Every structure is written in C-alpha cells, then in structure tokens.
Amino acid sequence: MTTSVARIFETMEWGPAPEASGPALDWLKSHGGELGHFIGGRWVPPAAGETLEVINPATRAVLGRVAQGSKADVDAAVAAAGQAFPAWAALSGHARARYLYALAREVQKNSRLLAVLESLDNGKPIRETRDLDIPLVARHFYHHAGWAQLAATEFAGYGPIGVVGQIIPWNFPLLMLAWKVAPALAAGNTVVLKPAEFTPLSALCFAELAQRVGLPPGVFNVVTGDGRAGALLVEHPDVRKIAFTGSTEVGRIIRKKTAGSGKKLTLELGGKSPFIVFEDADLDSVVEGVVDAIWFNQGQVCCAGSRLLVQEGVAGRLVAKLRARMEKLRVGSPLDKAVDMGAIVAPVQLDRIRALVDQGRAEGAEMWQPSWACPTEGYFYPPTLFTDVSPAATIAQVEIFGPVLVSMTFRTPAEAVALANNTPYGLAASVWTENINLALDVAPKIKAGVVWINSTNLFDAAAGFGGYRESGFGREGGREGMWEYLKPEWEGGRGKGEGSESVPLAVAAKETTLPSSPSPLPPIDRTPKLFIGGKQVRPDQGYSRPVRGRDGRVLGEVGEGNRKDVRDAVEAAHAAEGWGRGAGHLRAQILYYIAENLSARSDEFAARIAAQTGATAEQGRAEVDAAIARLFSYAAWADKYDGAVHHVPIRGVTLAMHEPIGVIGIAAPDTHPLLGFVSLVAPAVAVGNTVVALPSTPYPLSATDFYAVLETSDLPDGVVNIVTGDKDALVRVLAEHLDVDAVWYCGGVDGARMVEEASAGNMKRTWVPGGRDWLDPRRAEGREFLRHATQVKNIWIPYGE
Amino acid sequence: MGRAFSGTMTVMRGETRIRRPHSRATGVSGGGEPTGQPPPSGQERNPGTPLDLDLIRAIRVNRSAVERRAATLPRRRTVKKEWQAAWLLRAITCMDLTTLQGDDTPGNVLRLCAKARAPLRRDLVDALGVADLGITVGAVCVYHALVPTAVTALEGSGIPVAAVSTGFPAGLNPFPQRLEEIRASVEAGADEIDVVITRAHVLTGDWPALYEEVRAFRDACGAAHLKVILATGELATLTNVARASLAAMMGGADFIKTSTGKEPVNATLPVGIVMTRMIREYAERTGHAVGFKPAGGIRAAKSALEWLILMKEELGDAWLSAARFRLGASALLTDIERQLEHFVTGRYSAAHRQPMV
C-alpha cells in the first residue's frame, strides 16, 4: 500500500472503482441460475424445455439461463393476462395507483440490485444504470401511478384495451419495460412482456418485485426468449395491442403481421438523429453534448445523435475539441464506477459496428479513434469519429447502433434543416445555438418526435417520446403516451375495420341514358372531373365510370382515377404544405367559409344524397346539416387544439407541440357520401394537413359536387385533392406511396388489412375510423380525430443565463 | 466523504483496462486556431497578450449545459483506496492554506505556518509511506499586515507566501493605492499576490478597463506571481465569468481565481468548468499555461477530489500540481487529514485528533 500511494501521487492516474456484483449474482443463485417465465404470478418452466444462455458481454461469462418461450408458454401467458383483465380493469383508478406506487417504491428500494443486474446483463456502465436507467424507471411508475389515479376524470369516456403484448429491446431493458408497463397498467390493461433475448434478467427481477408488492396474478406476465417468442405474441389472436421498441426492420414485420387484425399498434423504431451545431454555439458544451449523444450507452441508443451537422466555419475547431475529448474517454469494465463506456451487448452487434465502420472507410470517409486500446476480454468498441462524410455514404444513412459518429458540414440554417431531414427516420434531434430565434425556428422544421435545444438525450415520464416517419408511431410518456393504451368505451371488442360498411350495389338498369330533365331541351352533360392542385382535371386514362342511383338509373359519371392521378394528387398535396405553417385562425376562417357556401347549396346537396343513396329528402337534408355543423366544429377547433407545456424536472420548458402529420390519404366511408367525407377531411385540414381524398365508391357525386364549394371558399390549391374511381384500388396506391404520411381507411376488412400491410413501406400512420355512427357527433368528431391528424413533437428548452 | 471508504470490501470481477501507449498523431490543423491539445508543459510565466476584444465578445456560455457537465462530472469519475489517498495528498500540496480574518494576529498566523510545513501527522505520513515526498501545502495566504510574520515563519521551507491585495475583498480603493498595496506586499516578501478586480468593469462590459487594470497589477507585481480573483459570485452570468477570465489572462494573470471567500457564492463547479475551459482556450491560442485557483467554501475532502477531477478532465495532468492549481482553503486540511487517517486505520476519525490549523 505504502509504495503505491507514493507512486500514484506522482502519476495521478485513475484507479479501479469497482461496484460489487455479489448481491446481483446472489439473486441469480436464489433462482438456481435458471429462470422460468413469469406467468399468472408464478415462475413457470418452459413448456418445451428449451432454455437460453445469458452472457455478460463485458467478460463473456455465463450469468445464467432463461426460458425460451414456445407457443404453449405464450398461450398460457396471454390466457393468464386475459383472465386477470376484467378484475384489473374494473379496479378503481385509485386502487391501480396504489399498485403502481408500490412498484415505484419497490424499484427504489432495490435500485442498486437492479442497476448492477442491468449492467451485468447489458454491459452498460453502472454509472448509467445507477444515475439514469433505474431512477427513470422509478420516475415512470410514480408518474403513471398519478395517471391511474386520474384516469377516470382525465380520460373520461375511454377505457383499457385488454391484453397488451409488449416487446422491448436490449439497450435499456428495464427502462423500456417501465415505459411500456407503467402506462399499460395505469390505464387498466394487463400485460404480457417479452424482453430481449440478450437482456432478460432485469425484467424477471422486476417480476419478482411485482410479486412482492402483491400485484394480482396475471396482470403482469413475462415470457422470455428470442424473436420466435415475440412473433408468437404478435400473432396471438387474444392480444389486443402490440407495443414494440426495436429496429425498423422488425417493426415493419410486426406492422405487416398485425395488419387487418384490429390490434392497436405502437412502434418505437430506429433513428439516425441529427445533432446540429450552429456557429454561435458554446462549443465546449457542444463537445459534452456529443459525449452524451453518441457515447452514452455505447451509442446503442435509438435516439443517439449519430449525425453531427456542423456549420462549416466552426467545424475544424469542433472536430479538434472532440478528438481531444475522445482521448480522455474511458472504456472498461461496466462495473467500474469511473468509466464512460462499457461493452457492446453481443458479438453480433460488435460485428455489425465493425462492418459498417469498414464500409465507411472503404467509401472514403476519414475515421478517427483515440490512441488508447479497449479491453479485449469482452465485446468492446472504441469511440469513433468519421469526418468528410457525404450524405450519400452508407454510414451517413444507416443506423450503426454503436459509438460511431459521422460528421458533415452545412452552410446555412436552411441547409442544416435539409440535411437533418434527409433520412427516412425521424426520432430525435439536438440543436445547439445561443440564438433563441434560430433555435425556435429550426425546431419545428425538423421531422422528429423530440427536439432537444442545447441538450441531448433528456428523458422524463411527463414528456412523450416517439418518432416521426420510419422511426415509428405512438408516444411513450406524458398524457400523449396514455392515449396509446386507451380506447373509446363505445368501441366494441374487436373493431377490425368497418365491418358492415358495404353498401348494396344497385342493380344495373338496362338503359344507360343520362338523367332525365324536365326541360324540353336535352340536358347539358355534367361530368365531374378529378380535383387536383385546385384544378379540375381529367383522369389520366380518359375513362369514366357511371354512378347509379338506388333505382339503378345512371345519375352521372365520374372520372376513373388511376395511380398516376393519385401520384399527381400527392405531389399537389405536398406543394400545399405551407397550409400547415399558417395560422389556425386562417384555417378556421376558410372552414367557416366552406360551411357557409355548402349551406347556400344545401338543397342541391340533400337532393343529390337522396338520389344516390335512396335516402329520404329529410335524411338527405339531415346529412347536409350535420356536415355543415361538422365543418363548424373543426373551424372552431382549428385554433384551439393546443399543445402543452410538460412539467419535466429541468430548469426550462418542454413544449409538446401538435404538428400536422403531413399528407394524409383518406378513403371516405361508402355510406354518408357527404358527411363521411367531411368528417375525415375537415379534421385533417383543420390542423394543417393536406389531403388526397377518395370519395365513396358507389356515391362519389357528393364529394365531386363538394369541390365546387371548395373552389369558392378560398381554400389554397392542393390542400384538398379528390380522386374518384375504385376506392380500394386507389387507396392501395396511397398506402404504398412512400411520400404519403398517413392513410385513413373506411371500408371492408380486406381493404383495411391491405392498407395496414402496405403502410409498412414507409411506416406511415394508418387509421381505420369506420364502424361508427357518422351522425353522432360524440363518436364522429372531436379530439379523437384531431389526435389522429397530429403528432406530438416535444421540444426541450433548458434556459438560464 | 467517509462513505467512500465504508462498506464491505468489494471483490473485483474484472479490471478497468485502460492502456495508454504512445500517443497517435492527431492530424489537427494549426494556423492559430485552437488545437484541442494542451500546450507543452513549461514553467515560464504567462506574459499576457494584446487585448483581443473580438475573441472576448464572441464567447458564449450555455449555463444549463455547463451545469449538466458539473452535475455529471463527479459521477463519471471517482478515485478509491490508494488512489484516493494519493489524490488527497496531492490536494494538500496544491492548497493555499489561508487565513483572512479581521482578528488575525501573528499568533494564529504562526500556527498556520507551522501547519503548512507539516500538514499531516507524522504517524500518518509514515503509515502512508510518503515521508520522502516532503508533503507541504502549496502556499500560505494572508493579509498584507501578516506577510512579514509568515515570511519569517516559512523561511527555508520553500513554501511561498501569498498576500491578498488591491483593496481585498471589494477592490474599490483608489487605483494608485491598490498598486501601492501590491508593491508593499512584494517589498514585504510576498511571492504571490492575490488581487481582486473591479467587478464594475465586467458588469458594464468594459473589457479594455479590466485588461488595463490587470496589466497594471501585473507590472506592480514584478517577479511575484499574480493571481487574479474574479469574484465570480458577483459577475452575474457564466458568460461574464468566461469573458473576465480571458481578459485577465490577456492582461498577464499567472492564475485566475474564483472568489475572495467573502462573496455570497464562492467556488462552484460550473464556474470552475467555465474558467478552466477558458484557460484551455487561452493555452491553445497562445501556448501560455495559466493556473487555476478555486477558493471559498471548499471544506470537504470530497470537494477537493472533485476539483482535481475537474482539472484532470478539462485541462489534463499538467494542471494537477501547485504550479498550475491551487485550492484556497483552511478547514479543508483537517477533513483531508481525517480521511487519510481513516484510510490508514480503517476507522473514521475525528477533527480533534488532527493538529489544529
């Protein structure tokens, strides 16, 4: 001891600061080193007898074995959750709040055990699990104990969905559990959780805590195993919702697998998040921001700031500072309290990182790594910086999911935004500038669910987290996250599409004459066209389709739209995106004006409805009146669907902004040719989306008549586009279109399945809003529609001078 | 602090392996731009530079980000056992053992000086096996009136005497008087002069005035080292702290120092982060290494370790000795002694067991 103190006095080097792993290993030993599933409140061995090794990636030591879930296991877990659901859902919010509160307390009481276990299993530094993961887990349960308490009043009219299947990743095992389990239980759902195969331990330890607090058996179940167990859960018919966090690749598969099942879905997927540095930023603080962005959790973070975009004039200085900082980072045993980075979770991930880095070098980017070497006994990778990276480079486009940063330069704020958005992803962004005007100008322009101003990787239970674009949909955290685990109480058990939507087709009459006219003169042909970009245009193919009334007589003809017409309509809708940046007041004025102009022609519209559908004149009139009222409702909403300021534990504000989704494809219901169309188009445009609308296939004339109303109402060109034809054929083009951001579909079950399946191409949002009484404003208008028409962007703005 | 040594002995299951072989060329461009690398270590004094107003005015500090760094830094790094003991010894050698009270007399200053020569109980020194290191404090810091007492008491020890000066602590005496005060203390044998700046120059953004003031102080110091106290607790913003740091270094400061110990807020980690970053910036631009002295409110051994961690992380090993780092403190020494006794004996110690400062 004595000589070493004198020696260290001279060198002033770092020494080891190990955290004890004993208690965590003892916990594993208490289960005989082998853990079963947790089903119905009991430990259950795998039905098929298959088990998996759990490895410590920092040492390659085997920590223990867990069960591989088989069909029988998943069935048993879903059955247990289904059995527990009615009683759990029927509990008062206060009672559920007590359970969640107890879970939060239990997590705190066992915080070090969980932190060590997580570090052993995942390879992440104990410093992170101790200071970030586990405290945030407790925070999530506290916060959602609050939502359970308030659910009956704050979410009146909504209730739980049922059995929820949750599949979580290996990068933040227990934190992702908390993000999913806490809101699900608070809302009254029961859960079957499938942890990642690499990191099942903390979920199982949490199950034991749940047992200890007396959570009713079956409310929370864990089935461990690899992707096979996850797939079984996704496909299980009694699971009413799937919540998944993981890769976009697997997210796409899940989207396709659940298509047409009526299962609700939230996906938190990958990212390639920009970290934007303007020339007036505090560069030394930027450097620490980068450390927290990409060298946090070894870069295995879905929202990692992995693309560094630097204003050209300061790029040289920043890179020099970054390299100096990287030289001081420490990689080592995750249980050492003084390391910055631990181990990569598994060899497969390490191989992927290495391959991508090799590719980056092969493609000509300059790679830089610190001079020191990583430990060799586990799966370690050093912090890595690429400069001279072009947007075309593979490493600039794909998610590396490792401690690898790629940097590029930009000249202007506009170019920074363009580069930031030059990705299929849209999870998060970080913006560094001391100019508040610049920061608040750029933040709304970035396509991302979270924007951190002069900060990065801040998380809190009170603020929603989730993606735009192919980073998935749905939010976790905050009020916005609770909606993902609720459904309107009036909605039936399954709700797969519209069900009884189909309209009996009129029998084709023999004569195909034009409508008769009381005038002695022959009637003037009146063939509606498509409405694209504010213009009436003929269909690309030059075909028309007849529209027959209930009596079989031809009422008129409409254009037979095709994929090129849909393409043109989507282009026109994009060209009109300025609509969403304008004031809500302006949109309100135009919606009122549309209502006014519709009202002036209400007799004509009523007659047309009656002629098409066989409704009585009175019913036709009622539908027109309802459509006018609906337009008024959304005119009213246009400047009232406010966002929120979340209470997060920083000195600053977190703005939850409601942003339009973008271009929404709408396949209107076949029934209620006017009201159905208006009920979907109006909320979409009220909050700033632009729309490509496909009217009712049998009764398209109310929609085509409607464009004349739009034309006289000052609606900017391209905000609403209407393409007539075979709705299901056209909606496929919309659902497959990679530049359409959402599709709302009313129609049959097969159509709904097709739309949901095709949406996986760019992970566009889908909604099947059918199966409701369009005349009932309690079900057919309001916040539910506005929620689907918007996505929440959380902008974190720390302040203080 | 005692917590760091408490609890069961932990079994290490895998060592942190950080190999630092030869440094690789960093391929950084030169041309007057900062390089991100510390300058070569040298003991030559900072001569100052012409006033660079553009640089000073361009500095922006983001308070929230700095505070985040300050909050996480002590969580990212820690030293335990032998390492902690060695680092605490190092902290002693960087300590400006200070008394700045109105009731200071030759009597208590003599006691302070005796402690400065032998800051650690002999039995602890032996148990730690560091007798050969000749551990003493970095300097003794007193008011002008006590300089002769301290100089005499420390004769032959090699421990410098520092005098606070220029109308300490407010610094609002007539300017010629403040210069005269410096000269008098140097004349009386002070090796180091801790001056206070006119806070008004910072608060009004009058950087030329601040620069000229420091220049004049430096000239008055002659061979004595100049430590410039920014009194950061009265500078309102971290951006002001950063700009004042730069102006003081351009004016020829050998050290920049946080506080007099008399402001409502003294040395804080965020302020330390900003000042050390400016020292780095200045070193990268000019090649001159300026020292850093946090002072005021540093009483716990744990804080001393945090300051050392900050120096190592933000500035590097070249800033871990008394030539470039001082801790202004008095009660701190007793706490460090207690911790070292705990390290040696395994028992928590008491203040009354350590010879009084």
In the 3-class helix/strand/coil scheme, how is A574-610 assigned residue by residue?
HHCCHHHHCCHHHHHHHHHHHHHHHHHCHHHHHHHHH
Q: Which residue has the tokens 């300590």?
A: B95
Contact of A668 with A684, CB cutoff 8 Å: no
Q: Which residues of B are catalytic?
A: 194, 257, 293
Q: What one-character-per-residue DSSP string does A680-691 give?
A: HHHHHHHTT-EE
Q: Do A454 and B64 touch (CB under 8 A)?
A: yes
Q: A58 to chain B, minimum CA–CA distance in Å?
A: 8
How many interface pairs between A and B have CB atoms less than 8 angstroms apart? 187
ipTM: 0.93
Residue spans of beta strands (DSSP E) within chain B: 95-98, 139-142, 161-165, 192-196, 225-229, 255-257, 291-293, 327-329
pLDDT at B304 exceeding the cut of 50: yes
Residue A50, phi then psi, degrees to nearest 5: -85, 140
Q: How many angstroms separate the Cα of B326 from the Cα of each of A244, A318, A707? A: 53, 29, 78
CB A9 within 8 A of CB B94: no
- CB-based contacts of A263, cutoff 8 Å, min separation 6: A239, A240, A241, A242
What residues of chain A, 323 to 342, have a C-beta less than 8 Å from chain B? Answer: 323-325, 327-328, 330-333, 335-340
Residue B58's contacts (CB-CB under 8 Å, 6 or more residues apart) are none
pLDDT of residue A234: 98
A chain contacts of residue B339, beta-carbon cutoff 8 Å: none
All residues at 6 or more sequence positions from A291 whose CB lies less than 8 Å from its CB, including other chains: A325, A329, A340
Residues on chain B touching A377 (C-beta within 8 angstroms): 14
Least Cα separation, residue B85 to chain A (angstroms): 7
Residues of chain B contacting A3 with CB distance shorter than 8 Å: 129
What local confidence, expressed as pLDDT, does residue B23 receive?
35
3-state secondary structure of B43: coil
Q: Taking CB atoms and an 8 Å limit, are A17 and B20 in contact across chains?
A: no
pLDDT at B12 over 90: no
Probe site for chain A from B17, B22, B81 (most A CB atoms < 10 A): B17
> Which of B16, B268, B281 is best to mutate for the A interface (most A CBs within 10 A)?
B16
CB < 8 Å to A21, chain B: 11, 13
| Interface contact flag, A2 B127, Cβ < 8 Å | yes
Strands A62-67 and A158-160: unpaired
Contact B86 A12 (CB under 8 A): yes
Residue numbers of chain A with a pLDDT score lower than 50: 494-500, 505-514
Structure confidence at residue A1 (pLDDT): 52
CA distance A128 to A337: 9
Q: State the average pLDDT for chain B.
A: 90
- B26: burial class by Cβ within 10 Å (0-12, 13-18, 19+)? middle
Interface of A with B in 584-613 (CB under 8 A): none
β B192-196/B225-229 pair status: parallel
Q: How many residues does chain A have?
A: 801
Q: Pick from B310, B311, B324, B243: which is nearest to B278 by CA? A: B243
Note whether A727 and A703 are within 8 A (CB). no
Strand A486-488 relative to strand A652-660, pairing = unpaired
Q: How far apart are CA A431 and CA A447, in angstroms?
A: 13
Q: Does A285 touch chain B (CB under 8 A)?
A: yes
Distance between CA atoms of A295 and A128, rounded to whole angstroms?
11
Contacts of residue A332 in chain B, CB cutoff 8 Å? 15-18
CA separation for the pair A49, A28 (Å, rounded): 19
Interchain contact, A18 vs B89, CB within 8 Å: no
Chain A residues touching B85 at Cβ < 8 A: 5, 8
Q: Return the beta strands (E) in A293-403 as ranges.
A: 305-311, 366-368, 384-387
The continuous run of DSSP H or E covering B117 comes out as helix B106-117
Instruction: Say which of A9, A373, A798 has its CB closest to residue B64.
Output: A798
Beta bridge partners of A570: none
Chain B CB contacts of A330 below 8 Å: 16, 18
Q: Are B260 and B233 in contact (CB under 8 A)?
A: no
| Token pair 């609720």 in the structure block, residue | A486
Length, in residues, of chain B: 357
Taking the CA of residue A648 and the nearest CA in chain B, the distance in Å comes to: 14
B40 pLDDT above the threshold of 70: no
What order of strands is seen across the sheet that includes strand A34-35? A34-35, A62-67, A51-55
The chain B residue lying nearest A286, using CA atoms, is: B65
Cα B354 from Cα B126, distance rounded (Å): 15
**Contact predicate A569/A723, CB 8 Å:** yes
Distance CA B133, CA A11 (A): 13
Bond before B169 cis per omega within 30 degrees: yes
CA A371 to each of CA A212, A317, A360: distance values in angstroms, whole numbers, following the listed order: 49, 20, 20
Please tell me the number of Cα atoms within 13 Å of B238 on its side-chain side.
26
Give the pair of three-digit tokens for residue A109: 């009481």
Judging contacts by C-beta atoms under 8 Å, the chain A residues touching residue B323 are none
For residue A259 the two structure tokens come to 């298509």
Of A15, A317, A455, the CB nearest to B65: A455
For residue B118, the distance in angstroms to the closest alpha carbon of chain A comes to 17
Closest chain B residue to A797, measured at CA: B64
First to last CA, chain B: 20
β-bridge pairing A158-160 and A486-488:
antiparallel
pLDDT score of A517: 52
- Chain A residues inside the 8 Å CB shell of B269: none
Adjacent-strand bridge partners of A158: A488
Q: Using CA atoms, how far apart are residues A224 and A221, in angstroms rounded to an integer? A: 10
Distance between first and last Cα of chain A: 47
Q: Which of B12, B33, B85 sits opposite A18 (nearest CB)?
A: B12
Distance from CA of A690 to the nearest CA of B (A): 39
DSSP codes of every residue in A226-291: SHHHHHHHHH-TT--EEEEES-HHHHHHHHHHHTTTT-EEEEE----EEEEE-TTS-HHHHHHHHH
Q: What is the pLDDT of residue A520?
A: 72
| pLDDT score at A494 | 46
Q: Tell me the C-alpha distance between B123 and B349, whole Å.
A: 14
Of the candidates A15, A292, A335, the beta carbon closest to that of B82 is on: A15
Task: Point out the residues of A that are catalytic.
Answer: 268, 302
Chain B contact for A20, CB < 8 A? yes
Backbone φ and ψ for A200, nearest 5 degrees, come out as: -90, -10
In a mutational test of the B interface, the residue from A4, A7, A11, A12 whose CB has the highest number of chain B CBs within 10 Å is A12
CA distance A52 to chain B (A): 23
Please list the residues that pair with A556 across neighbouring strands: A547
Supply the pLDDT for residue A525: 78
Alpha-carbon span A646 to A796, nearest angstrom: 9
- A313 at interface of B, judged by CB pairs closer than 8 A: no
Residues of chain A in contact with residue B69, where contact means CB-CB under 8 angstroms, are 285, 288
Q: What percent of chain B has pLDDT over 90?
A: 87
Q: Which of B13, B23, B36 sits opposite A21 (nearest CB)?
A: B13
Candidates A282, A324, A339; nearest CB to B61:
A282
Q: Are B61 and A373 an interchain contact pair (Cβ–Cβ within 8 Å)? A: no
Among A333, A329, A327, CA closest to A377: A333
CB atoms within 10 A of CB A570: 24
Q: Quick one: tokens of B137?
A: 């404090």
* Dihedral over alpha carbons B277, B280, B286, B291 (to 10 degrees): 100
Instruction: Give the model's pLDDT for residue A39.
Output: 98
Q: Give SS3 for A770.
A: coil
> What does pTM read for this prediction?
0.94
Whole-Å CA distances, A459 to A135, A303, A551, A795: 11, 11, 61, 11
Closest residue in chain A to residue B133, using alpha carbons only: A6
Q: How close A784 gets to chain B, by Cα (Å)?
A: 37
> What burial class does residue A367 get, using C-beta atoms within 10 Å of its C-beta: 0-12 exposed, 13-18 middle, 19+ buried?
middle
Facing residue for A131 by CB, picked from B11, B14, B75? B75
Beta A720-722 vs A790-798: how paired, if at all?
Answer: unpaired
pLDDT above 80 (res B4): no
Strands of the sheet containing A366-368, edge to edge, are A366-368, A384-387, A404-410, A305-311, A273-277, A428-432, A450-453, A790-798, A652-660, A644-646
Q: What average pLDDT does the segment B272-299 reach?
A: 97
Which residue in A292, A346, A307, A261 sits closest to A454, CA to CA?
A292
Angle at alpha carbon of residue A623, lines to A618 and A624, rounded to 5°: 100
Which residues on adjacent β-strands are paired with residue A363?
Answer: none
